[in-house]
Amino acid sequence: MSRKPETALVTGAGSGIGRGVAQTLAKMGLRVALVGRDPGKLETTKGLLGVADDRVMVAPCDVTDAEAVMAMAKEVESTFGTIDVLVCNAGTNVRNRALNVLTPEDWDLMIRTNLTGPFNLLRAILPGMRERKDGLVVQICSISGVRASTLGGAGYSASKFGQAALGITLGREVREEGIRSTVIYPGEVNTPILDARPVKVSDERKAAILQPEDVAAAVKFLVELHPRARVPELVITPTVDDFF
């Protein structure tokens, strides 16, 4: 970026990776807009940031609603002036993942949340970045967006491959406009999404896999990176796991 980033918008900020990223960015001195569907969870995250009220904004919004996202982005830009860093983190999975039990409703839910949601955010926020010729967009994708996984399921993998393509194409389109785009592919992370697993994840496994602060550290690296350098893709996995 041509100047030090001052503001960030983080989706899925009510828990898990989004909460961890918001905490890290706030510690870096950025003003942070917290976006998610549950105002109560967002308020909890706000309390954990430990910053003055004018340094954080709670912006409840369902990222699958294009017009709601547009209105939310305008409100954040009006309050903060700019959105320098966009972290597309909101995501979901379902319990019945195998193709013989995956329903059209669950398929649509994952595509809307994991793929259409990031598109809605870009549609609302990218024009401001293009006007300033400045900005960083981070897609919090998944290792399931690198290689399809029966553990994640066909629907989740398809949505995450799509999110990855969105982020990579964005980077190619805007690289000469001062805007950087990175797709982060985390392996297993200890977040509430694990509760949707068909098989319960043990406490020992939860302790061994990535924690939200690990992914947040990757986002911090990207924010601090000199604007002459960009990272199109970044894979981060638990040390105990093989990549493939």
Instruction: Read off the tokens for 87.
Output: 């972290």
Is residue 2's pLDDT more than 70?
no
Q: Which of 156, 166, 184, 193 is catalytic?
A: 156
Q: Is 224 exposed, middle or buried (0-12, 13-18, 19+ CB in 10 A)?
A: exposed
Beta bridge partners of 184: 140, 234
Instruction: Read off the tokens for 110.
Output: 């994952």
pLDDT at position 212: 97
Write the pLDDT tens digit of every residue in 59-105: 999 999 999 999 999 999 999 999 999 999 999 999 999 999 999 99
Is residue 1's pLDDT more than 50?
no
The arithmetic mean of pLDDT across residues 178-200, rounded, is 91
Write the pLDDT tens digit of every residue in 129-151: 999 999 999 999 999 999 998 99
Cβ contact 164:150 at 8 Å: no
pTM recorded for the entire structure: 0.95
pLDDT category, 244, cuts 50, 70, 90? Answer: low
The arithmetic mean of pLDDT across residues 160-176, rounded, is 98
Q: What percent of the chain has pLDDT over 90?
A: 92
Region for 32 from its dihedrals, namely left if φ exceeds 0, alpha if ψ lies in -120 to 50, beta otherwise: beta
Which of 13-27, 87-101, 193-207 shows the lowest per-residue confidence on average (mean pLDDT)? 193-207
pLDDT at position 218: 98
pLDDT category, 194, cuts 50, 70, 90? Answer: confident
SS3 assignment, position 67: helix
Q: What is the mean pLDDT of the chain?
A: 96
Q: b/e string for 83-103 if b means 16 or more Cβ within 10 A?
A: bbbbbbbbbbbbeebeeeebe
The reply to whether 156 belongs to the active site is yes
